[in-house]
Amino acid sequence: MEHYATGMKSLHIRDVPEPTIARLKRRALLHHRSLQGELIFVLEEAAKQIPHDDPAEFSLNTVRTEGTQNWSREGIYED
């Protein structure tokens, strides 16, 4: 596993079922990793399955909207 510099991005995953969390914790224990370490490992393995030269890169399209927008955390996540 690579060593990471500070300033790494974070992910927030919502609504994970308790049984899934319990199985991931067990998996981490079996691999002698923290839950975070195990999740990073799983994500890295999944990311390796995507070709590096994949032409389907992320692109951002912007549109002009009317009115005001609620860009607060609550407005975005509706919680």
Parse the chain into domains and list their residue ranges: 21-50
Number of Cβ atoms within 10 Å of the Cβ of 11: 7
Say how far residue 63 (Cα) sits from the centre of its chain: 26
d(CA 17, CA 24): 11
Kindly state the tokens that stand for 49: 């399955």
**Nearest-angstrom CA–CA distance, 25 and 36:** 9
- Please identify which residue in the block is written with the tokens 């002009």: 64
pLDDT by residue, tens only, the chain of 79 residues: 555 556 778 888 999 999 999 999 999 999 999 999 999 999 999 988 887 765 666 677 777 777 666 677 777 777 6
